[in-house]
A and B are shown apart, each in its own frame.
Chain A
Amino acid sequence: MRNILSYCAAALIVTAQPALAAPEEPAVSDPSIKPSAPTLPVITDGTTLFEQFGGRDGLTKIMDDVMPRWLQNSRTRPFFANSDQERIKLQLVEQFCVIMNGPCEYSGRTMAEAHRGMNVDEAAFYALVEELQRSLNAMKVPFAAQNRLIAALAPMHRDIIDK
């Protein structure tokens, strides 16, 4: 039992990420919006993770694959059906690229501003993640690498769900 607990403690300690040079967060045009999670939380200073996603081209393919899934899933469809899907795909490519330390610049808004008033509920948030997981599986991104990206995106729930 003591061994198990010390393993748990060790696992908790290794998850603490080293401080990385964070890119500047997008400006918020409406001062009443206070983001509670970064839009661009860079999670690595290496290139391995970015390469596991196939680089920028890989991210573009993933977005081409996942957008139709989001449009078919009844829980996510309302948030994409009448949107500029090409722009959303481009900005997600840029965002994921920056988060994984790729050579990109993010041209979008903060997550807080982008989702304000959209009333995304928790089920829709998870449905989006699940469809993304299906795409990443289809694109043969290793599951552990998928989880590193999704772990970086998860805290954005505070700026997205029920806003």
Chain B
Amino acid sequence: MRKLSQSMTGTNIVAMAVAAAGLTSTAHANENNDTSETAAVHESASESTAVAVQMSADAPVEVMDDTTSRRDFLPSGGRLLLTGGVSTIEGAGGGGLVPWALIGGYGTRDQVGVSAYATGVDTKDFTLASYGAAFNIANRVELSVARQNFNLREVGNALNLGNRYTISQTILGAKVRLFGDAILEQDSLLPQVAVGVQYKINDDEGVVEGALGLEREGVDIYASATKLILSKSLLLNATVRLTKANQFGILGFGGLGGQNQDYEAQFEGSVAYLLSRKFAVGGEYRTKSNRLEGALGGTSFREEDAWDIFAAYTLNRNVSLTVAYARLGQIALRRQDGAYASIQIGF
């Protein structure tokens, strides 16, 4: 068991994510209307299709599944691929680390959508597993729930907590788009702006509450501005977050001994470049507060800014995959960087 945990690498996380993708993409294969760029011609007796067949004699046309029935049952999936972003490790729609003003999923102003995700981040000493779901209403409101399991692996042993000691927290999130449409308003520099809250409930009574004596609950409040500059194939996002969280809340809220309980503003930014309508690359940066430095003397428990470089690929409207190199900064004793892999499903 101990050996197993030691060999838990980024590759394993990717493999797990891909395995999960296989299960879900099979389940939704029949609903998928996003087939390849070139495909065979439909054969049908209906008049409009007959026209299509005739007109496509010298141009390949792909098969389109009929989405009408799906529309009637649960209208969803109208917006362009990638324009909902992916799921952050805190459950909100955005990049991997930074929430965006975009409402997650592909629902238009007339639609609702649901999505779920699983993410693994594997650093030198720790493994962060995050999973959750979101409900999106009318491209206006995003409600999310996320669960984070932060596995201390060998560090757990070193701290006499036992091997694979895990700190967990639940994050309830809500985001509301205030104004702007990052995608449609291409003749204006006005971004899409949203505000959100994240209510974080850390379960850990042993370390966070016991050993460190920290608050286990906290609320983050953030505002995000996102703009797609389509003529440059560029997406930009800036977020400001008011928070008391240490290491995203995994190490509780506020400083040691009841000190440092004020909200601090943190700044987060994302840049993504669209390489095709299904593939984007980019980077993110997120500042974090540093309230626990010296908890074990010296520079122990120093907290540093986090960043990542990512590649996101959406197979279709139902499945997206993200891989990244993530650097979370120092956590506990050492700087933590490593592989990030995420799968998102939605409809």
Tally of A interface residues using CB under 8 Å: 49
Interface of A is mostly: helix
Interface of B is mostly: loop
List of A residues within 8 angstroms of B184 by Cβ: 154-155, 157
List of B residues within 8 angstroms of A143 by Cβ: 233, 274-277
Inter-subunit contact A152/B186 (CB<8 Å): yes
Given A4-B271, A154-B230, answer yes or no on A122-B236 (Cβ-Cβ < 8 Å). Answer: no
Given A121-B110, A126-B78, answer yes or no on A138-B189 (Cβ-Cβ < 8 Å). Answer: no
Inter-subunit contact B67/A74 (CB<8 Å): yes
Bound form: Cα–Cα A148–B49 in Å: 31
Please give me the residue from chain B that is nearest to A3 by CB atom.
B285
Partner of B61, one of A16, A68, A85: A68
Decide yes or no whether B48 CB sits under 8 A from chain A: yes
Partner of B229, one of A7, A15, A130: A15
Please give me the residue from chain B that is nearest to A89 by CB atom.
B55
List of A residues within 8 angstroms of B37 by Cβ: 134, 137-138
Inter-subunit contact A15/B189 (CB<8 Å): yes
Contacts A8-B271, A68-B53, A154-B185 aside, 9 further interface pairs with beta carbons under 8 A come to: A4-B269, A11-B234, A74-B66, A77-B48, A133-B277, A137-B276, A147-B233, A152-B231, A154-B187
* Among all A-B residue pairs, the 7 with the closest Cβ atoms: A123-B78, A151-B230, A122-B108, A68-B52, A154-B186, A151-B231, A65-B59
* 13 A-B residue pairs with CB within 8 Å: A11-B236, A68-B51, A68-B59, A69-B62, A74-B64, A75-B78, A121-B110, A122-B79, A124-B78, A129-B80, A138-B37, A147-B274, A148-B231
Give residues in B with beta carbon < 8 Å to A. 33, 37-38, 42, 47-49, 51-53, 55-56, 58-64, 66-68, 71, 75, 77-81, 108-111, 139, 183-189, 227, 229-234, 236, 238, 267, 269, 271, 274-277, 285, 287, 305
